Structure 1
């Protein structure tokens, strides 16, 4: 059985990545991500998680292999077309990457404004999102006045506000307390139920048990472990009541 190409969000085939002349940090990585699925990416420090995420959000090109995203060859695509492809992605960076001179509200609103949304269609969704992540009283604050955990929540709100087709999150709960970590994970789940494919990189083993329908992608020294073949074929979905 071969998955239907139209049902794939991302396809990696024998991808390798090295920086400069050093050894490969990723070797022979192959997997398929499907619409509406939830994946955890895990592995020891140095296993290559951040490098794999960079390939997923198009910040890095591989040294070898093939990558297709949304039916497009992401390696041979002209660089001037990459911004349009990136608009279909939401990214939560480990270092947040908030715009320092913008308020929390304006940072979260940025993807909507870039996409051309009318201002009247921005205000309420952004306010609701900031309330959800517990920052309703910090909308006007600039990043420098926010704690690390607050900055993380602004970064997550910005990544999900546009309901991206693919959400990539690098250790998104690393700077928040356990209760907020679960709440943010529920936000990712809600987005996933609306059809977004979610990839969350984490070293927190407790989080892996919080999403029963998730698939686990394990990296070990730059190689992806997939003993069941679950990352090559569409995951099974529940057919009865939840």
Structure 2
């Protein structure tokens, strides 16, 4: 059986992400989540905003399958990841582009190798994706850093590299937690334009930020005290 198959879930779903009654315990300095109900349609753009410590990173970690919920149900692209075998869950995560605040860059790989990692994992030959990686790094203003290592970059550059890696594999869903928090205005604008362009091409985009006006999202939700509150008009 295909490890991604789940006979109890519909493969024809139009939801990219669904959380039903999800709860997670608080972490140091952060609110826990209580009874979160959230659905994001395929191709949608959702901006989740809230103050520092509101639980945004915890919510994104749950959606990105880095944390298992204490209660409730999560579905990603119509699948319940926690009912899949480990290999199946890994394959599901490869359909997602993830930007967490800790970035998770691989220090022993060059900038170009980090950016190309999703395509390498997908089995694409380096000589096939090398041009795409070069163009992407150029767009991110990292073209002259391709042979450097993450430790050689400042935080702004590391954050741009994390975004580059997240989009390089042409994911179906992008989850980005404060994706431009450390960037100057020019770099931030460039990254946001790229994310918006991918969303226009059909990629589902979920962004968490303290700035409720970060980008022109179709939907916005406020996270307050571990609860998700829809804004008026959404």
CA drift at 1:41: 1.2
- 1:166 maps to which of 164, 173, 180: 173
- 1:90 maps to which of 94, 97, 100: 97
Q: Give the SS at the match of 2:147.
A: coil
Q: Give the SS at the match of 2:74.
A: strand
Q: Do the aligned partners of 1:17 and 1:24 also contact (CA within 8 Å) in 2? A: no
Q: What residue is the counterpart of 2:6 in the other structure?
A: none
Name which of structure 1's ranges 59-68 and 221-230 shifts more when overlaid on structure 2: 221-230
- 2:37 maps to which of 26, 30, 33: 30
Q: Give the SS at the match of 2:82.
A: coil
Q: What residue is the counterpart of 2:183 in the other structure?
A: 176
Task: Give, in whole Å, the separation in 2 of the partners of 1:161 and 1:54.
Answer: 20
Q: Give the SS at the match of 2:194.
A: helix
Q: Do the aligned partners of 1:15 and 1:63 also contact (CA within 8 Å) in 2? A: yes
| Matched residue count | 222
Q: Do the aligned partners of 1:217 and 1:226 also contact (CA within 8 Å) in 2? A: yes
Deviations 1:57-85 (A, max 9, x none): 10111111111111112233233321011
Cα 1:131–1:143 change in 2 (3 A) is: same
Q: Do the aligned partners of 2:31 and 2:53 also contact (CA within 8 Å) in 1? A: no
Q: Do the aligned partners of 1:16 and 1:24 also contact (CA within 8 Å) in 2? A: no
Deviations 1:153-210 (A, max 9, x none): 1111000011111101111111110121111100100111121101111112441xx3
Task: Give, in whole Å, the separation in 1 of the partners of 2:157 and 2:149.
Answer: 11
Task: Give, in whole Å, the separation in 2 of the partners of 1:164 and 1:149.
Answer: 23
Q: Which runs of 5+ in 1 are unaligned?
A: 231-242
What TM-score results when the alignment is normalised by the length of structure 1?
0.86
Task: Give, in whole Å, the separation in 1 of the partners of 2:54 and 2:124.
Answer: 39
Q: Do the aligned partners of 2:47 and 2:212 also contact (CA within 8 Å) in 1? A: no
Query: Aligned pair 1:17/2:24, yes or no?
Result: yes
Query: Aligned pair 1:134/2:137, yes or no?
Result: no
Query: Aligned pair 1:66/2:73, yes or no?
Result: yes
- 2:221 maps to which of 217, 222, 233: 217
Q: Give the SS at the match of 1:225.
A: strand
CA drift at 1:51: 0.6
Q: Give the SS at the match of 2:104.
A: coil
Task: Give, in whole Å, the separation in 2 of the partners of 1:77 and 1:18.
Answer: 23
Task: Give, in whole Å, the separation in 2 of the partners of 1:54 and 1:83.
Answer: 15
Cα 1:156–1:122 change in 2 (3 A) is: same
- 2:108 maps to which of 94, 101, 104: 101
Q: What residue is the counterpart of 1:238 in the other structure?
A: none
Q: Which runs of 5+ in 2 are unaligned?
A: 1-10
CA drift at 1:24: 7.2
Deviations 1:83-135 (A, max 9, x none): 01101110112122111111111110111000001222211100000000011
What TM-score results when the alignment is normalised by the length of structure 2?
0.89
Cα 1:43–1:5 change in 2 (3 A) is: farther
- 2:131 maps to which of 124, 144, 148: 124
Q: Do the aligned partners of 2:163 and 2:179 also contact (CA within 8 Å) in 1? A: yes
